[in-house]
Structures are given as C-alpha cells and as structure tokens.
C-alpha cells in the first residue's frame, strides 16, 4: 500500500530547479521488522538507493544498517534465526525469573570479526556523501537522540535504539548519557528527516496506515479513559477537572503541559497517599494499556504480547514508566499528524501493509514471519515499479545502477 499516486506527490510534473534530497525512514516494531527486511531486500536486489539520509528506530535501525552495508537478507536472517531463539527471549523465564531479553548476545553477532558481522567498511564507503542515523531515547530528558552509523560507538547506538524498557534490564550508557528504545520518542522519525532538509521522505511502516479521523477518535477515547480512571480521586487532587479542561482545548502542542501536570500530580500522590498508590497506579496502567492496544501494536510496548508480559512480570507501573507512555503517545500522534499533513515543501511516500501483519513484536510463528517477509518483497517491488525511475531522476545522489525492471529474487538462505 502506498500513500499517494504519482500525480498526487508531483513526481510526474516538470523537473524541479534543483536535485531533491530524498530520505528513507524505517519504523521499528520488533519481529514485525521482517516486513521492512523484505522491502529492503527488494531495494538491494534492484540496486535502488537514491537516498541522501537514512533514519531508523529499533528494528528499523537494524534494517537500515543492513541496507547501507548492502547485505542482502541480513535483517531476514537476524529476525528469523536469532530473535526466535529461546536464548534471545523465553516467555516463561521472563515471567518466573525475570530473565530479560538477551539483546547483547544477538547484537554481538553483528560486531567486526564475527561470521555474521555487519560490513561496516562497505557502509562507511557508501556513506561518504550520505548520512545514516539510529534513533534512541535519552532517558533523563525523554528526547530523541540520533547517532551516526559511521561513528565508533555504532554498536552501542544499535543496542540503545533496541533497548526496550522492561524487556532490557537497563538503559545503555553512551557518553555519560542513558538511552533506551528510540520508539519511545520517535517511532517514525519523519519529522527529523524534514528538519534536516529532506524534500521527499520515503517511510517504511510496520503497521497499516490509519485514517486521520480514527486517530482523532482514538485520542478522544484515550482522554476519556484517563478521566474516568481519575474520577474517584477528583476531590483529592483534581486531575479529573484538569482532564476535562484539557479535552476541551486539546491540541497536540498542549500534550507536554498535560504530561508535566500529570507528573506533578503523581509526585503529590506519592507523598500524600502512599498507602493507596499501588492500587491507583494499577488503574492508570490499565488505561495506558488499553490505549496502546487500540493503536495496533506500535512501539514494542504497543503489541498485546508485550503488554501481557508487563502484567505477568508483577512489576507496578512506575512514575518514570508512565512518563514514557505519555511521551510516546504525544510523539507518535505528532508523527502521524506530520505524515498525514506534511509541510508544503515536503512530499511523503509510505510503504505499508494494507492489513495488520501476521507477525508480532515478539514470539512470532515462523510461517507468519515468512509471510510478512514475502509481503515486504512484493510491496517493495511494486513501489519500485511505480516510483523507482522518478525518484532516481530527482535524487541529489547518483543511482544510475538502478534496475527499472524487476529481476528474479536471489535464493534465500
């Protein structure tokens, strides 16, 4: 599924006065990244790469790395051969003994000297006049940070962008800062691509594009749920009144104020009502889980599997975790608004499945992973058939080796 036809994004119109800066943005999604791996392999097979900038979050950053390293099926093998192993993640060990996801073991296979290493020398040559960034979240300020894959700390950056809170035991330290999964603050970093000068942004999604009207409805339901959860405490700390006022004046720009107010009230509650705090936080957790479930499983916390793990872990939802939820909600809504209504000078193309993928964030069946990979291959080739020549002609970087005609796919292995 593509977001617009060629006429709608202007690719059939007369050539612009200057070459266009084209960026590629890759959403995360855990094992759902197998769909993105399929799209990337379609691109690699036909030598399609008109991009000047690349941005990847979580599993999207891994697929981006495979792309700039020009390693066909790297993402496919990583997901199907590593993330499906019990050593990477075992449900009952997590539930019974808090045995966390072994991200260190999986990513160690990508390091230089390993048989399955990422070819970073190829990446550095490829990126001499291009730029690739992995997005992580600074835990202390809850803002996105973008790490270049040509820097020496790229292994830590890949670990940070995939370090899912709850499933990975601690933030990743880089230059005296602490980072977790980039999906908390920039699940689809298209706005960052625009901020860095992109004229055309190609976005690979791991979930269907949702109509804007549904997004607005979901926002209203989310606020209504929160208000209902807080209603019993209205006389004590007045959050329900605040939410009523917030809903009437709701704008994305106001969500930061909401987050600060909610954090303030949580602090007061912790001091004044310690005896009832656990029960209250449980109610907030329920409302947040309900909201995330409504949004189709984005960010690894967004899948029903991950929320089930959160519940089974027995850990209460902390104030810091609640801040992450609200920050993720704010940033994701902002990204969706940007994709639906990009600025006048930017054009956005999305490659996304028409229906929810068969795979899950974790614990996917092998047949589901294979089906979603094949879907990615198919949609990737369809995208190239429709837009490939035009994007190559417009690009600020040379991509003369692009094969316009779809070629037979290499053997999988």
Backbone φ, ψ for residue 56 (5° rounding) = -130, 140
Q: For the CA atoms of the chain, what is the radius of gyration?
A: 21
State the Cα–Cα distance between residues 319 and 260, nearest whole angstrom. 12
- Cα distance from N-terminal residue to C-terminal residue, the chain: 27
Tell me which DSSP letter residue 183 carries: G
**Environment class of residue 296 by beta-carbon count within 10 Å: exposed (0-12), middle (13-18) or buried (19+)?**
middle
Considering 181, 199, 209, 372, which one is annotated as catalytic?
Answer: 181
Helix H segments across 98-211? 103-108, 120-126, 154-162, 190-195
State the Cα–Cα distance between residues 54 and 46, nearest whole angstrom. 18
The Cα-based distances of 243 to 177, 238, 247, 279, 368 in angstroms read 33, 9, 6, 20, 41
181 is annotated as an active-site residue: yes
C-beta separation of 202 from 39 below 8 A? no
State the Cα–Cα distance between residues 105 and 117, nearest whole angstrom. 13
400 is annotated as an active-site residue: no
Which residue in 156, 26, 169 sits closest to 89, CA to CA?
Answer: 169
C-beta separation of 294 from 221 below 8 A? yes
State the Cα–Cα distance between residues 52 and 242, nearest whole angstrom. 45
Considering 58, 287, 331, 364, which one is annotated as catalytic?
Answer: 58
**H helix or E strand, kind and range, residue 24:** strand 22-26
Tell me which DSSP letter residue 254 carries: G
**H helix or E strand, kind and range, residue 350:** strand 347-351
C-beta separation of 134 from 157 below 8 A? yes
Q: Which two tokens stand for residue 348?
A: 């956005």
Catalytic positions are: 58, 181
């Amino acid at each position: 599924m593509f977001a617009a036809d060629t006429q709608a994004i202007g690719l059939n119109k007369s050539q612009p006065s200057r070459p266009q800066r084209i960026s590629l943005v890759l959403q995360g999604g855990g094992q759902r990244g197998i769909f993105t791996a399929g799209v990337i392999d379609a691109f690699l097979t036909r030598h399609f790469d008109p991009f000047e900038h690349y941005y990847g979050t979580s599993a999207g950053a891994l697929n981006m790395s495979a792309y700039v390293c020009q390693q066909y099926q790297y993402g496919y093998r990583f997901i199907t051969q590593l993330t499906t192993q019990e050593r990477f993640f075992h449900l009952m060990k997590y539930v019974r003994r808090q045995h966390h996801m072994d991200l260190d073991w999986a990513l160690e296979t990508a390091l230089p000297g390993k048989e399955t290493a990422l070819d970073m020398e190829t990446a550095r040559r490829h990126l001499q006049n291009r730029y690739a960034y992995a997005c992580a979240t600074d835990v202390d300020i809850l803002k996105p940070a973008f790490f270049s894959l040509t820097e020496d700390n790229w292994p830590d950056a890949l670990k940070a962008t995939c370090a899912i809170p709850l499933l990975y035991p601690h933030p990743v330290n880089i230059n005296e800062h602490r980072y977790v999964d980039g999906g908390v603050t920039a699940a689809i970093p298209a706005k960052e691509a625009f901020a860095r000068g992109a004229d055309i942004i190609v976005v690979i999604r791991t979930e269907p594009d949702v109509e804007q009207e549904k997004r607005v409805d979901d926002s209203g339901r989310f606020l209504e749920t929160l208000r209902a959860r807080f209603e019993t405490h209205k006389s004590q700390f007045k959050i329900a009144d605040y939410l009523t006022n917030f809903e009437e004046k709701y704008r994305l720009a106001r969500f930061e104020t909401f987050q600060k107010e909610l954090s303030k009230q949580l602090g007061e509650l912790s001091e004044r009502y310690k005896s009832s705090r656990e029960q209250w936080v449980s109610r907030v957790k329920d409302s947040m889980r309900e909201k995330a479930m409504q949004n189709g499983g984005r960010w690894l916390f967004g899948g029903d599997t991950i929320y089930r793990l959160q519940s089974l872990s027995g850990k209460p939802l902390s104030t810091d975790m609640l801040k992450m939820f609200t920050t993720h909600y704010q940033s994701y809504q902002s990204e969706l608004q940007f994709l639906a209504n990009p600025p006048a000078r930017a054009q956005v193309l999305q490659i996304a499945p028409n229906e929810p993928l068969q795979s899950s964030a974790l614990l996917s069946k092998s047949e589901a992973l294979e089906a979603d990979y094949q879907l990615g291959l198919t949609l990737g080739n369809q995208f190239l058939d429709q837009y490939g020549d035009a994007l190559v002609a417009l690009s600020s970087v040379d991509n003369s080796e692009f094969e316009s005609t779809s070629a037979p796919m290499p053997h999988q292995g």
